[in-house]
């Protein structure tokens, strides 16, 4: 049987979206310097192991994840337009770069190729998104190659399953302009948990450290969080340092104007919180 051709990922109306599970767990390096050390997370229900493949020198970064957000947006739009949602996509390099709000000079093409290599050589082993008691194993990009027609990218079935199930949320275009790794990760976490909670969502600094997978020293990580909280805002979210039951933490809340103007995707319901004061859970 001949393989199906890749999906032309050039759908103009695709809006940036991220799979919910990519916003809730420590999948990526938050550092701009190469990280070879694995990320290990063990919670009450779920585990995550992110490691470089044999011979690889670094795991994928949170900036590399922009490519996955592009693929998610294209596949969701394909579903909306009743097109075939295939795990293999093809698009000119410049379209991918423009989608994630990057320049299209030669240096950016080189960086994109390096990002694809890191995504392809990062091995994931996790219970997230897997059947009870089982492990899912995959790479963020299962294969990629350059062709005269564009870059051909195959994303894992794990990611496609989230898209088919519409387990995605819209993300702001301004997200791509965030320059800090912790800053980007914190915004995604806030988008996942604080969007529909009118009273705000609280999490301790220790929980944030565990959830981030950051390789920074605990004191440096906490200092970075405090600096972000001093700014008072993270795009459309307010950040407040608070203490709860003796623990230092942060409260995230969405401004009323932002709540009414935020773009919603299927599954988002304004004013409705299905878990009532949602907190970090597994």
pLDDT at 12: 87
Tell me if 69 is assigned to some domain: yes
**Does residue 159 sit within a domain?**
yes
**Do 32 and 136 reside in the same domain of the chain?**
yes
pLDDT band at 260 (very low <50, low <70, confident <90, very high): very low
Domain assignment present for residue 276? The answer is: no
* Residues 21 and 135 reside in one and the same domain: yes
Residue 1 lies in a domain: no
Contacts 24+ apart (CB under 8 A), 223-230: 224/180, 224/182, 225/182, 225/186, 225/250, 228/182, 228/183, 228/186
Same domain for 144 and 19: yes
202 & 135 share domain? no
Domain that holds residue 72: 7-169
Query: Can you give the CATH number for the domain in which 246 is found?
Result: 1.10.10
Report percent pLDDT > 70 for the chain: 87
Q: What would the pLDDT profile of 183-199 be if each residue is shown by its tens digit?
A: 999 999 989 887 656 66
Q: How many domains does the chain have?
A: 2
Q: Tell me, what's the pLDDT at 281?
A: 31
Average pLDDT, rounded, for the chain: 86
Full DSSP string of 28-72: SB--SS---SPEEEE-SS-EEEEEEPTT---PPBTTTHHHHHHHH
Q: What is the pTM of this model?
A: 0.87
* Pair 19, 159 in one domain: yes
Mean pLDDT calculated for residue range 61-80: 97
Residue 160's pLDDT is what? Answer: 95
Pair 15, 137 in one domain: yes
In a domain? residue 103: yes
């Amino acid at each position: 049987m001949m393989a199906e051709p890749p999906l032309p990922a050039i759908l103009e109306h695709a809006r940036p979206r991220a799979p919910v599970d990519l916003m809730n767990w420590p999948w990526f390096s938050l550092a701009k310097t190469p990280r070879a050390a694995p990320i290990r997370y063990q919670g009450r229900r779920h585990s995550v192991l992110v490691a470089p493949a044999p011979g690889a020198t670094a795991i994928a970064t949170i900036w590399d994840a922009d490519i996955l957000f592009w693929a998610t947006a294209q596949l969701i739009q394909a579903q909306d337009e009743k097109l075939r949602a295939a795990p293999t996509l093809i698009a000119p390099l410049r379209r991918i770069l423009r989608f994630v709000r990057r320049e299209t000079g030669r240096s950016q093409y080189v960086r994109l190729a390096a990002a694809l290599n890191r995504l392809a050589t990062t091995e994931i082993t996790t219970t997230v998104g897997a059947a009870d008691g089982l492990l899912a194993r995959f790479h963020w990009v299962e294969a990629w190659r350059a062709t005269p027609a564009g870059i051909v990218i195959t994303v894992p079935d794990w990611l496609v399953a989230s898209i088919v199930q519409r387990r995605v949320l819209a993300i702001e275009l301004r997200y791509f302009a965030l320059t800090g790794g912790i800053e980007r990760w914190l915004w995604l976490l806030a988008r996942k948990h604080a969007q529909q909670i009118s009273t705000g969502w609280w999490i301790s600094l220790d929980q944030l450290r565990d959830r981030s997978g950051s390789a920074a020293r605990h004191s440096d990580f906490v200092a970075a969080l405090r600096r972000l909280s001093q700014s008072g805002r993270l795009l459309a979210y307010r950040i407040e340092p608070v203490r709860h039951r003796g623990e230092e933490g942060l409260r995230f809340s969405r401004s009323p104007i932002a709540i009414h103007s935020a773009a919603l995707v299927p599954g988002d319901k304004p004013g409705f919180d299905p878990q009532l004061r949602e907190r970090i859970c597994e």
